[in-house]
Amino acid sequence: MDFDEILAQILHLLQRDKRLSYRALKRRFALDDEYLEDVKAELIQAKQLARDEAGAVLVWVGEAPPTEPAAPPAQAGLLLAHQAIHPHEAAPFATAPPPPDAERRQLTVLFCDLVDSTTLAGQLDPEDLREVVRAYQQLCAEVIQRFDGHIAQYLGDGLLVYFGYPQAHEDDAQRAVRTGLGIVEALHTLNKHLAQRQGVRLAVRVGMHTGLVVVGAMGGGGRQEQLALGETPNIAARLQSMALPDTVVISEATAHLIHGYFVCQPLGAHALRGVSQPLLVYQVLQESGAQTRRSTSSHREA
């Protein structure tokens, strides 16, 4: 089976059973760790139909499937860009303009996720795991707040963060990159504490992309969240999944906005699943020390 077929079967099981352990998925579909991470990224981050629980369980949060065969898919209420639906077949909401409370914005979207969280869950008692994950989340929240980012979702051991919403800044891309570097740096201090108390070490992957989105309320059944829709969050999630542990990976769009303020290493062009054209990707190494756009020129010439 190809990826789409496996994903469809997992989605069916998740809708039916509501909770699936990662171990069961790996055994049932013979998935390796990298393949499982792709499945998680698609269901949790891209389609937003599930959430991670303690790095061990996938939990269904999407709407119930439609009862009428002819009804359009209700998975997150979205019409995916690659579906070839003719105008006369489209549901009324598919061509309707965004609701009044939706905003078109340029955001820098950041995804941060723990590395090998499934292994971590197997090493720790559930109460100890909860303590570790909460300490990690608090650390991330403090760094994000320092740079005025907005935590849109806690995704188990991952975070979805917006820079440019609800408050926009001229340097949102810089704030996002400083946040990513800050989380990696702060994690080193936390690891000293965790090594003494739990005997574990945490590592994160951070990815981000800048682009246009539509932000508005999503959800149902009394549960709504302000979420950004469009290709931008999907690309950020893909970049996060390809980052090495304790590194920050960004797209060319974000790199252009932070040029001169940070030292970046080109990683070449990469074909990302669901993205039509390969994207140039960069790893952020450190800040350059430049404080203004004028001073970036002197840093490049030095």
pLDDT of residue 292: 63
Q: Is 103 left (phi over 0), alpha (psi -120 to 50) or beta?
A: beta
Which of 27-41, 54-68, 248-262 is predicted least confidently? 54-68
Question: Is 219 a residue whose pLDDT tops 70?
Answer: yes
Strand partners, 224: 219
Q: Is the overall model pTM greater than 0.85, yes or no?
A: no
Question: Is 144 a residue whose pLDDT tops 90?
Answer: yes
End-to-end Cα spacing for the chain: 54
Average pLDDT over residues 214-218: 86
C-alpha–C-alpha distance, residues 225 and 218, integer Å? 5
Q: CB atoms < 10 A from the CB of 223, how many?
A: 8
Handedness of CA 41, 285, 210, 170 (dihedral sign): positive
Confidence class for position 2, pLDDT limits 50, 70, 90: low
Q: What is the DSSP string of 206-264?
A: EEEEEEEEEEEEEEETTEEEEEEESHHHHHHHHHHHHSPTTEEEEEHHHHHHHBTTEEE
C-alpha–C-alpha distance, residues 192 and 299, integer Å? 34
Residue type, 188: H
C-alpha–C-alpha distance, residues 231 and 153, integer Å? 17
> CA 90: distance to chain centroid?
29
SS3 191: helix
C-alpha–C-alpha distance, residues 232 and 174, integer Å? 17
| Radius of gyration from C-alpha coordinates of the chain | 20
Yes or no: say if 297 and 260 are a contact pair by the CB < 8 Å rule.
yes
Per cent of the chain over pLDDT 70 is 82
CATH numbers and ranges of domains, the chain: 3-60 (1.10.10.10), 103-301 (3.30.70.1230)
Yes or no: say if 145 and 177 are a contact pair by the CB < 8 Å rule.
no
Tokens at residue 107, please? Answer: 């955001």
Yes or no: say if 176 and 143 are a contact pair by the CB < 8 Å rule.
no
